[in-house]
Structure 1
Amino acid sequence: MNTSGARPDDPITDFARRSVDVAGVVKTVYVAGRGPAVVLMPEMPGISPDVLRLARWLRDAGFTVHVPSLFGTDGAFPTVEEGMEVVRRACVSAEFRAFAGGGTSPVTAWLRGLARQAHADCGGPGVGAIGLCFTGNFALTMALEPAVVAPVVNHPSLPLDDPAGLEIGDEDARAVADRVARDGLKVLAYRFDDDRWCTGRRFAAYRALLGDAFDGRVLPGGSANAGPPPFFADVVGTPHSVVTAHLVDEAGHPTVRARDEIIAFLTARLRPAGRATPLPGRSG
């Protein structure tokens, strides 16, 4: 077991903590920034400091970032044992469909409601949606909501038992494909080439569904952070989290370029008359 990842938790004091009600279901959402809304969903096993680092980059680039609490302990770097328990609970939860044949996860209906509310609050041409790992495909399903105009699918890991599968029911898949064709949406996606949770077969399934609207970008696994937190080192066990746990925060690094490409994608669709605020170490 890797025990070198003892890192401080994040108190999340620079975000407003809101209770958001969608159709009578209330969840905590952390909100920060000004500008068009971006819903950033956590990766397994929760809203880690690495997820919050990405949220702050989005905030600093000129967006109002919304981070919903869906599982795990908010702000924590979980131990291996804690992370495994979060995975077990999520896999049997009625909100998620972790395995093949389960169809669309019910929690995505709540997330679409969050996007509608965020758009009403923040204005602009629409909302960005970023999924990570366990929530990766949720960004695509959220495109069933007309307010969502910039979906980003990062290393989608569901269904866990089918490397060529997509976590979406047949009817929803057809509806998403129809909306992509009708409205000209583009779907940006990332994975590492040797990720065993998000394989080339899964990206091929996205392209089969979405055609040229799917922009799947693949980074070399050798570029991943070699010292991620213990859950990622010991449980995930493969390069996986392109812009969070496996990001290398160095100017010009492939994972940092991926972060900047995501921000540029969101900017072009949510702030078409303006530019993102440059981040430290960025070229523009």
Structure 2
Amino acid sequence: MKHITYQTHKRHKAYVSLFGTTQLHLRNPYIIAWWSAAFPGFGHLLLSKNITGLLLFIWEVYTNIHANINVAMVYSFTGRLEEARSILDTRWALLYIPVYLFAVWDSYRTTIDINKVYVLAEHQNEPFDIFKMGALEVHYLDKRSPLVAVMWSILMPGSGQLYIHRIIIGFFSLIWVVVFFYQSQFLPAIHFLFLGDIPSSTSVLNIEWLLFLPSIYGFSAYDAYVNTIENNKLYDREQADFLSQNYQQYRFSLKQRL
């Protein structure tokens, strides 16, 4: 007679690696979907689905530039509708729309699924490593200041992620913000503005690339702020579990508030 063994699948709340801390926590699906609508890829990056997020991000930039969507938006907002219609490349715009809608839908669906997995992981409460050291990097779980993370993100997108050790997102944000600065001629425009030469400051700007900057600034600040808070919560919970398992008397019972 065969014995049937049931395998219990372990669900960890977090994973600490040399490239950062990846964790599960409850998220609002509408907020994640909104970030995907603001810039495809951002919603997935907030969910730590880095490969999908980076692919959608690159697709957004490449297709947007070829379809002249940002320029058409500027013309539309300023009432120049005929120029917006003439400059929009429908060959690329029709390719842009399906992927854009997929990014919003998939980020919303994935958020709901991850929230369900988080509930199971919270119930199992499996332990995880909080310290990683290798030849290239050292990473450990500790508490950081959310305001400091936001401050660095405002000064330079990606710096806030490096502060909380989100290496992949931080490196990616730094590279792309340099590309946006260079292509949009934003820094030369600021230079002319400081000199009082306003006509040169406005004429040198490349609006097509400039419109990418607000999105990456907002995402970098929001991502750094939210992940700093969630990392701090994870640190407090891990410390509480460690103290209760190693120093709390077995007869003592304390109900934890989640």
TM-score (norm 1): 0.26
> Which is richer in strand?
1
Higher helix share: 2
Greater RCO, CA 8 A, separation 6+:
2
Larger Rg: 2
